[in-house]
Amino acid sequence: MGKLDDIVSLCKRRGFIFPGSEVYGGMAGTWDFGPLGVMLKRKIMDAWWKYFVEDREDMYGVDAAILMNPRTWVASGHVDTFNDPLVECKSCHGRFRADKLADGLNESVTTEEFLAAGAKCPTCGKSDWGEIRKFNMMFSTHVGPVADETSVAYLRPETAQGIFTNYKNVVDTIYPDLPFGLAQQGKAFRNEISPRDYILRDRECSQMEIEYFVAPGTWEEHFEKMLAASHDFLENVIKLPASAIHELEVVPEDRAHYSKRTVDIEFDYPNGREELMGLAYRTDFDLSNIARESGKNMDYRDKNTGEVFVPHVIEPSIGVERLILAVLASAYAEDEVGGSSRVVLRLPETLAPYRFCVSPLLKNKPELVSKAQEVYAALRAKYGNVTWDDSGNIGKRYRKQDEIGTPKCVVVDFDTLEDGTVTVRDRDSAEQVRIKPEQL
């Protein structure tokens, strides 16, 4: 696993991730995905969707609007409770999340507890703090031509509420058997006090969430099944090392306001152990609140027993950027090949931006270029994610493809013109074999 600075440098150098609005000096907590980053991000999101939605018969998708009626966030509790502890340094006037400035503190930390921890300002090094204040992390905006209190709306801080507000629509239109899940992928916005650790804590991020609706008395069994499925996805589909994945049973005072049980799945990032995803038992909190706030019935009638109840909910939620960073950190390595050092990104073949890179041994030999273009066109038609590279010498091309994680490099040389075979070099072992292009 590489250091965070090395991963950041690689991502910028090779076109995975750029600072947001960099040409204008950037904007804290925002990141742009370049050509290779977009491909990696899409592959990860597609893998999640296939595993949790397409490959299951009890899952359905929705894609809700980012802007929602503001009553949504009153009913969900976000207007009153979606707060972080904000503290200001009296010396330099820097503002920070209090619970991140010293070990052993949580989001409910009081001013007295914080001062007793002896935290120093990350900017000026002094310990001259004001009172802790609660800071609501939702971005507010105005809808319509008049900006007043009647036009206030919020950018959604989570994708979950768009699922809950569509629960009744789904039940009324397709009436799925219980238990069933509704999945959504999309943007979420959180006005973080102090974005940090690269793409780990952003103000704009992508989420992948499921609300899995169950009969009230069955939530424990479904919770354990979803927890096992989450591990299976992370370890066997995304190929994260199991040794770097850990479960944390979240204590009541640290759980979200809607949760009666939460397990955080944490990952050993280069900067330390941090939350990768969460699994929460939300009871009937959301649907009951929607029923109260909207006056609409959220009951479900069991098709077999006729029993009527408000379903309870199991929610697996994962941040796409956090998963991308875990993938990059796990794949990053430095080693030696042929007596020289290299950087290599050992991405799983299913996630690598390109599956193959095709090159002519020499770009100034028309017969090699022509044959290489034939091989490139055939592989691209077969796999799609194939790239072409004829810049520099072959050694430099190999190093470049190693850095961006391409599993195989295919080289057309003079032997190809004689026997039709190409050289195929493996990214991880650097070993080379000769085979027919159609065998790839």
CATH number at residue 208: 3.30.930.10
Read off the pLDDT of each residue in 94-113 and give the average, rounded to a whole number: 84
Determine, yes or no, domain membership for 334.
no
| Pairwise CA distance, residues 323 & 318, whole Å | 8
Position 135 in a domain: no
Over range 254-272, report the average pLDDT. 89
Q: How far apart are CA 166 and CA 172, in angstroms?
A: 10
Instruction: Tell me the mean pLDDT in the region 49-68.
Output: 96
The pLDDT of residue 260 is 86
The Cα–Cα gap between 373 and 360 comes to 8
Residue 375 in any domain: the answer is: yes
Number of domains in the chain: 2
DSSP, residue by residue, 315-380: EEEEEHHHHHHHHHHHHEEEEEETTEEEEEE---TTTSS-SEEEEES-TT-HHHHHHHHHHHHHHH
Residues 235 and 292 occupy one common structural domain: yes
Is the same domain home to 182 and 279? yes
CB 42 within 8 A of CB 49: no
| 342 found inside a domain | no
Query: In this predicted model, what pLDDT tens digit does every residue of 164-184 receive, in sequence order?
Result: 999 999 999 999 999 999 999
Residue-averaged pLDDT of the chain: 92
Which structural domain, as residue segments, surrounds residue 386?
354-439
From 328, 344, 377, the end of a domain falls on 328
In a domain? residue 431 = yes
Q: Are residues 295 and 376 in the same domain?
A: no
Tell me the C-alpha distance between 362 and 412, whole Å: 9
For the cut 90, the answer to whether the pLDDT of residue 243 exceeds it is yes
pLDDT at 169: 95
pLDDT band with cut points at 50, 70 and 90 for residue 351: very high
Between helix 320-331 and helix 4-14 the angle, nearest 10°, is 100
pLDDT value of position 307? 93
CATH assignment of the domain containing 382: 3.40.50.800
Quote the CA–CA distance of 12 and 5 in Å, as a whole number. 11
Residue 128, domain member (yes or no): no
Answer yes or no: do 321 and 213 share one domain. Answer: yes
So what's the pLDDT on residue 337? Answer: 84
368 with 314, same domain: the answer is: no
Q: CA-CA distance, 388 to 390, in Å (whole number)?
A: 7
- pLDDT for res 399: 94
pLDDT score for 161: 92
- CB-based contact 199:31 (threshold 8 Å): yes
First to last CA, the chain: 30
